């Protein structure tokens, strides 16, 4: 038995802690105890996995010349654009379920939206696009959640724009689940978030945003309205869906054994997740058995494009699936590794003393605990949430995207191109087979 992290072999430590025993998270108290009596299991057995989790993707990235880095960035941009421009209608699998199939619309699934009463206009616009491009063919129910009661006006306006037979559920969130917990010290929170705000972390001082990130990370899948639901498609106010989708996306998830579907992969604000990675490594030391040997580790360890993010986030690229669009198998979230990880993250207070987003949290969990083959990039789904787009090319003569976006252009603001991380997924994670399927 090995006791305490100060006697762990170097390979067990995150990059930033090698050769030192101090926590890199200056200012954020380390509440996780290295319990003397906790057994760290068979460390040697996991050495190759920990080696991968401690190895940056690009060797000596710090020493790259400006020309070399520019070249790497240019190459990635080209790979992204070339991939997106490749015409696509739908994934090339034999088991797609069409609208006229008896199985259409039969997945245990719902379109899910966490939304406020005042977002009515923007959520209606998102719903109409969801209906027009997909759901009028498949008739999946909607579930709306709110930390406040929905007003009658909100509910009526939603019912008015949907067909009469569409199942619509409205739910509230228990304040115990939503609100900042008692264990958070107000003064520490205010000081920490003020500092994050001054470092440019978005929404740092907005308490409801912290609540939202925590809720989407660790609670939404336990809501009573989702008890019998296996798949959710998250829908946010104000988004656009550009392209017609003629197959049952939930059935695609089910039949092809996918745990997670996304459209956009970007870097995060590194100061919002300074300690997420070192703390995660601490968790993994206690539960190395949760690490999936086929995890998408390289996405986490990307350090070539935004090396400063990798440094500030203490060994995590900050690449993350952009969760405002996500199609999720909730059984993954309900699994032991994910739940135990959430309990651990909660004990670390980073949802409040930092501004851990649900996107990096979900992405780190997926990259560690899921087989990368079970994470699907929906390249065919045209999606826009300000400021990024997933815009696929269409075959000549096919107008499924109605010329509403420009294939391969990830953002209208070209200074944000650098934030796009999807080329890393294409180059390092996707197999040839998967690329051909998309």
Going by the DSSP 8-state scheme, the letter that residue 388 receives in this structure is E
Q: DSSP letter at 429?
A: I
16 or 324: CB nearest Mn ion = 324
Which partner in Mn ion, ligand GDP, none is near 146 (CB below 5 to 8 A by kind)?
ligand GDP
* CB of 251 or CB of 385, closer to ligand GDP: 385
Q: In whole angstroms, how close is the CB of 292 to ligand GDP at the nearest point?
A: 28
Tokens 């092809």 correspond to 256
**β-strand pairing of 383-385 with 240-241:** antiparallel
324, 328, 367, 394: residue in contact with ligand GDP (rule CB under 6 A): 324
Of 277, 270, 294, whose CA–CA distance to 341 is shortest? 277
User: Measured between alpha carbons, how far is 298 from 307 in angstroms, rounded to an integer?
Assistant: 14
**Among the listed residues 239, 242, 258, 262, the one whose alpha carbon sits nearest the alpha carbon of residue 250:** 258
Q: Least distance in Å: CB of 144 to ligand GDP? A: 9
Binding ligand GDP (rule: CB under 6 A), the pick from 30, 34, 205, 236 is 236
Tell me, by CB under 6 A, how many residues bind ligand GDP. 12
Helix, strand or coil for residue 60? coil
326 annotated active-site = yes
Answer for the pair 434, 374: CB distance below 8 angstroms, yes or no: no
Q: Which of 113, 211, 265, 324 binds Mn ion (CB under 5 A)?
A: 324
What is the C-alpha separation between 373 and 81, in angstroms, rounded?
A: 22
Q: Cβ(216)–Cβ(147) under 8 Å?
A: no
**Which CB, 147 or 311, lies closer to ligand GDP?**
147
Q: 217 to each of 229, 354, 359, 420, how far by Cα in Å?
A: 17, 14, 8, 22
Query: Distance (Å, rounded) from C-alpha 84 to C-alpha 389?
Result: 11
By beta-carbon proximity to ligand GDP, the closer residue of 55 and 208 is 208
**List 13, 111, 115, 366, residue binding ligand GDP (CB under 6 A):** 115
Cα 333 to the center of its chain, rounded Å: 12
Q: Decide: 304 and 206 in contact? Cβ < 8 Å.
A: no
- Binding mask 290-319 toward ligand GDP (x if CB under 6 A, else -) reads ------------------------------
Q: Of the candidates 30, 147, 236, 434, which one interacts with Mn ion according to CB under 5 A?
A: 236
Residue 85 binds ligand GDP (CB under 6 A): no
Binding to ligand GDP (CB under 6 A): which residues in 183-222?
Answer: 208-209, 212
- Looking at the Cβ atoms of 212 and 375, the one nearer to ligand GDP is 212
365 forms part of the interface with ligand GDP (CB under 6 A): no
Tell me the Ramachandran region of residue 124: left when phi exceeds 0, alpha when psi lies from -120 to 50, beta otherwise.
alpha
If the CB atoms of residues 147 and 371 are measured against ligand GDP, the closer one turns out to be 147
| Stretch (H or E) spanning 328 | strand 327-329
Q: Looking at 116, 155, 286, 427, which residue binds ligand GDP (CB under 6 A)?
A: 116
Does 146 participate in binding ligand GDP (rule CB under 6 A)?
yes
Catalytic residue among 326, 346, 432, 434: 326
Active site residues: 326
Binding site residues, ligand GDP, CB under 6 A: 114-116, 119, 146-147, 208-209, 212, 236-237, 324
């Amino acid at each position: 038995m090995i006791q305490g992290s100060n006697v762990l072999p170097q390979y067990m430590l995150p990059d930033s802690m090698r050769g030192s025993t101090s926590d890199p998270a200056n200012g954020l108290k380390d509440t996780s105890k290295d319990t003397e009596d906790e057994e760290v299991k068979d460390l040697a057995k996991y050495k190759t996995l920990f080696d991968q989790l401690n190895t940056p993707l690009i060797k000596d990235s710090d020493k790259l010349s400006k020309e070399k880095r520019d070249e790497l960035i240019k190459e990635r941009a080209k790979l992204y654009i070339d991939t997106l421009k490749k015409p696509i209608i739908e994934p090339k699998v034999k088991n797609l379920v069409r609208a006229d199939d008896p199985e259409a619309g039969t997945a245990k699934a719902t379109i899910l939206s966490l939304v406020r009463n005042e977002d009515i206009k923007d959520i209606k616009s998102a719903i109409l696009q969801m209906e027009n491009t997909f759901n009028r063919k498949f008739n999946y129910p909607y579930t709306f959640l709110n930390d406040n009661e929905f007003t009658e006006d909100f509910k009526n306006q939603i019912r008015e724009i949907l067909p009469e037979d569409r199942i619509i559920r409205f739910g509230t969130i228990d304040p115990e689940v939503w609100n900042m917990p008692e264990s958070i010290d107000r003064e520490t929170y205010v000081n920490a978030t003020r500092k994050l705000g001054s470092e440019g972390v978005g929404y740092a001082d907005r308490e409801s945003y912290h609540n939202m990130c925590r809720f989407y990370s660790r609670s939404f899948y336990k809501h009573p309205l989702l008890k019998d639901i296996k798949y959710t498609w998250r829908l946010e106010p104000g988004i656009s869906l550009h392209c017609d989708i003629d197959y049952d996306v939930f059935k695609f998830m089910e039949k092809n054994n996918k745990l997670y579907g996304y459209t956009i992969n970007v870097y995060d604000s590194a100061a919002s997740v300074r300690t997420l990675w070192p703390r995660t490594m601490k968790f993994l030391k206690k539960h190395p058995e949760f690490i999936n040997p086929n995890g998408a580790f390289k996405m986490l360890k990307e350090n070539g494009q935004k090396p400063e993010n990798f440094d500030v986030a203490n060994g995590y690229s900050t690449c993350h699936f952009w969760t405002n669009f996500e199609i999720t198998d909730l059984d993954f979230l309900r699994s032991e590794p994910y739940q135990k990880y959430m309990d651990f993250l909660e004990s670390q207070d980073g949802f409040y003393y930092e501004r851990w987003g649900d996107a990096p949290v979900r992405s780190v969990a997926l990259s560690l605990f899921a087989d990368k083959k079970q994470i699907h990039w929906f390249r065919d789904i045209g999606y826009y949430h300000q400021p990024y787009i997933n815009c696929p090319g269409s075959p000549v003569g096919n107008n499924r995207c109605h010329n509403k976006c420009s294939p391969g252009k990830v953002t209208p603001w070209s200074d944000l191109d650098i934030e796009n991380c999807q080329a890393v997924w294409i180059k390092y994670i996707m197999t040839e087979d998967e690329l051909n399927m998309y």
